[in-house]
Structure 1
Amino acid sequence: MHVEDLRWFVVLAEAEHLTEAAAALGTSQPNLSRSLRRVESAFGVQLFEREHRGVRLNPYGRLVLEAARAGTAAVDTARQRIDALLDPESGVVRLAFLHSVATSLMPDLLKAFRELAPNVRFALRQEAGHDIVHDLETGEAEIGIISPRPDPAVFGWHLLERQRLCLHVPPGHALADRRRVELAAAAEEPFVGLRPGFGFRRVTDELCRAAGFAPQLAFEATDLATIDSLVGAGLGVAIIPSGSVRGNESGAVSVPLAGVQARREIGLSWRLRTPLTPAAERFRTFVGERVPVSTG
């Protein structure tokens, strides 16, 4: 039994005549009879009483009619909602993004795209890089703004920013007026960093290890804006990407790291073997064509 069988059942129940119902449906009477048999077989009972002038619902049929009307209405509503989601002019983009781009890259992208497609909506998820990868894998998100680049065999990638790494120090700090600084110069300083599990936390740990020390963490945060505020308050120093904190009022100073070739790369990512919805594809194309790579 299919949904169309239930639709035909409703028409027959209202017409109470096989020939008239078949004509209204644009089908033959034998086709309608076969459809009715499928419905009755699915419920295991006869649903109509045959009369000289037509058919009439029995008590079982009246129960099925109520359910059929509700069920077909629910299916129609679901189809309408899916059609709306698939409309590139008014659909929904399921987008996951890093905490660290919430005040910098994200607002610029959304503003620019909404000028082009004002009726497209966004279902946003702000989370760590490993959670974004998981959401892309499960379909909770169609597109992610992420760092570092995920597995290229599984995920597409468009580089958005390549950021220089800096030592972030409190205002008035002894290293604040240097043009560049070796990371080893901060070996005895307390550090403010991201919690374990964040991709950039692994980067900073590796940089400190290469510089010959393990950082002493005064605090572990979940976003770079908090790190900036705490560094500005004098809690410690931090490694952060240049330009990752916009409009900060903390007074903290970012000094480029000397002798460090590493850059933090942020990009747009999507699952290669899963087609994007039209709205998401439109957003991906927009970003790929109109957003140049920024190097900090």
Structure 2
Amino acid sequence: MELRQLQYFLKVAQKEHVTKAAEELHVAQSAVSRQIHLLEQELGIDLFMQKGRNLHLTPVGQLFCKRVESILKDLDRSVAEIHEFLNPERGEIRIGFPNSVGTHLIPTIVAEFRRHYPHVKFRFKQGMYPSLIKDVLSGEVDLAFISPCPDSDEQLIGDVVMTEELFAILPQNHPLAQEKIIRLEQLKDEQFVLFSPGYSLRPIVWQACLKAGFTPQIAFEGGETDTIRGLVAAGMGVSLLPEMALFPTNSLQPAQVRVEAPAVTRTIGLIHRSDGRLPLVARSFRAFLLTYFRTRQNNTPVGS
């Protein structure tokens, strides 16, 4: 069994077509077909079945495909680790994060890190809480910012890097917009603009409202902080957003007011797999981040 056969097999499985796979691999169609045939002969099984013009994996082919994906991913990471060992300042860091930290936090810390390591590359992946956990466990990303930081997990190591206050955001003409601080129960009769189910900020806001004695009435659900902030500014309702999501991105901005009874906060954690397979360059970045947040914990807000 040759590495080339596994690479060809995986590409055909992804494209479900020999010609399309060959085009992407920049080889002749006959070469791809021959290597797949030799692989099936060696294994003594059919990996694909014809359906119309496409090829679909057989049940045993699907099982084999999962293993091949894992093998080739590990091989790619091994090659990358060798290059990083030879020159750890020129590696690539793969990092995941939720939408709410992408506007300001990620650019700030990446810019700061690259001042010291200008040749390090970054690959970013944005996602919701469950997908970020999955991406870390599958090795799709090396590190991920996540909120809230998950409880203890044998497969993950997580460090709480910061605790952030959530502010009420209101239309500029709202009767409470000029207040310095309000009780959350004062918003019980308002329409709320919230993150959709699956976003980690939604249950934080929902539970805070329940603790204040009411169930929020939902006017709109979305997945982008800019959208939520813009709709509130346009008078469509009120919401709660973390401080780092309140940096202005256009001229239409809501008022922001501190909340008490209860005060609403969220934790932001940095997670990675617990199996010790973090690449050298990612280890350097993690160490940098832990120091970065620790030194700023009692000083200025992130990015200020």
Q: TM-score, normalised by structure 2?
A: 0.68
Cα distance, 1:188 vs structure 2? 1.4
**Given residue 255 of structure 2, which amino acid in structure 1 is its aligned partner?**
V
Aligned to 2:142: 142
Match of 1:282 among 278, 281, 284: 284
Q: Secondary structure at the match of 1:181?
A: strand
CA offsets, 1:79-109, max 9 Å, x none?
7656335542111111001100111111111
In structure 1, how many angstroms separate the alpha carbons of the residues matched to 2:95 and 2:79?
22
Given that 1:169 and 1:232 are in contact with CA atoms closer than 8 Å, whether structure 2 keeps it comes out as yes
The Cα offsets for residues 144-173 of structure 1, whole Å up to 9 and x where unpaired, read as: 011001132333233333211221101121
1:16-27 residue pairs with structure 2 within 5 A?
Answer: none
Deviations 1:229-265 (A, max 9, x none): 1111111100111232223432211111111244111
Aligned to 2:225: 224
What are the residue-to-residue correspondences of 1:81-120 with 2, within 5 Å? Answer: 83-84=82-83, 87-120=87-120
Determine the C-alpha separation between the residues in 2 that align with 1:268 and 1:91: 20
Q: Which moved more, 1:157-166 or 1:88-97?
A: 157-166
Amino acid at match of 2:210: R
Cα distance in 2 for residues equivalent to 1:294 and 1:252? 27
Q: How far apart, in 2, do the equivalents of 1:216 and 1:143 lie?
A: 36
Unpaired segments ≥5 residues, structure 2: 4-41, 43-74
Contact 2:97 2:144 (8 Å CA) reproduced: yes
User: What is the distance in 1 between the residues matched to 2:151 and 2:83?
Assistant: 32
Q: 1:240 maps to what in 2?
A: 241
Indicate the structure (1 or 2) with the bigger Cα radius of gyration: 1
- Within-5 A mapping of 1:1-296: 83-84=82-83, 87-154=87-154, 155-248=156-249, 249-292=251-294, 293-294=296-297
Aligned-pair CA distance for 1:271: 1.7
- Is the Cα–Cα contact under 8 Å of residues 81 and 279 in structure 2 kept in the other structure? no
Percent of pairs with identical residues: 29
Q: Deviations over 1:27-62 (max 9, x none)?
A: xxxxxxxxxxxxxxxx9xxxxxxxxxxxxxxxxxxx
Deviation at 1:114, TM superposition (A): 0.9
Confirm or deny: 8 A CA contact 2:101 2:244 kept in the other structure: no
* 1:89 and 1:120 in contact (8 A); partners too: yes
SS at match of 2:113: helix
Q: Please tell me the residue identity of whatever aligns with 1:153.
A: D
Aligned length in residues:
225
2:62 alignment partner in structure 1:
none
Secondary structure at the residue paired with 2:83?
helix
CA deviation profile, 1:54-76 (whole Å, cap 9, x unmatched): xxxxxxxxxxxxxxxxxxxxxxx
- Residue aligned with 2:114, SS: helix
